[in-house]
């Protein structure tokens, strides 16, 4: 069965946007994890030390930006997975492609690499 070109291009655009947003949030999350587990610091917003401050773990008294980054990345990863599924089904790729696409949202920098590769594959597949 032939690939619907318009559907595939729309799915690729959705995937591209989701990949960039999720990849950026994953980089923020990675930085936050490094701060927390290597340096014992969390990011606090609007507390007694200013708009944004690094404070020792478990001493956050205002908005815990570290937790906010974690939650936002989690929800954006769900959106990313929906974009992966939309693209995977529109392109009619083998089942083995989907886990590779999904890993892009949990391995730092992989979403950017995957997005580039996917763009080329979609361009070749929709000609």
Residue 16 has pLDDT above 80, yes or no: yes
Query: How far is the C-alpha of 47 from the C-alpha of 106, rounded, in Å?
Result: 30
Q: pLDDT band at 1, cuts 50/70/90?
A: low
- Supply φ then ψ for residue 51, to 5 degrees: -60, -50
With beta carbons less than 8 A apart as the criterion, state whether 55 and 40 touch.
no
The per-residue pLDDT of the chain, averaged, comes to: 93
The pLDDT score that the predictor gives to residue 52 is 95
Cα(first)–Cα(last) distance of the chain, in Å?
A: 15
**pLDDT tens across 67-123, in order?**
999 999 999 999 999 999 999 999 999 999 999 999 999 999 999 999 999 999 998
Stretch 61-72: mean pLDDT: 95
pTM, two decimal places: 0.89
CB atoms closer than 10 angstroms to residue 105: 26
Hey, what are 71's tokens?
A: 């939650």
Residue 12: its pLDDT value, please? 95
Give percent of the chain with pLDDT exceeding 70. Answer: 98
pLDDT at 100 (0 to 100): 92
Which strands sit side by side in the sheet containing 50-56, from one edge to the other?
A: 50-56, 41-47, 63-64
And the tokens for 46?
């609007």
């Amino acid at each position: 069965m032939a690939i619907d070109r318009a559907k595939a291009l729309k799915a690729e655009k959705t995937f591209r946007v989701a990949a960039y947003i999720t990849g950026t949030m994953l980089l923020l999350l990675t930085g936050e994890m490094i701060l927390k587990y290597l340096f014992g610091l969390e990011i606090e917003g609007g507390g007694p030390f200013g708009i944004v401050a690094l404070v020792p773990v478990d001493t956050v008294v205002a908005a815990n930006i570290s937790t906010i980054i974690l939650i936002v990345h989690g929800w954006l990863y769900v959106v990313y997975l929906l974009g992966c599924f939309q693209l995977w089904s529109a392109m009619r790729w083998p089942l083995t492609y989907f886990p590779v696409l999904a890993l892009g949202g949990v391995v730092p920098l992989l979403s950017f690499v995957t997005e580039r590769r996917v763009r080329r594959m979609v361009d070749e597949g929709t000609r």
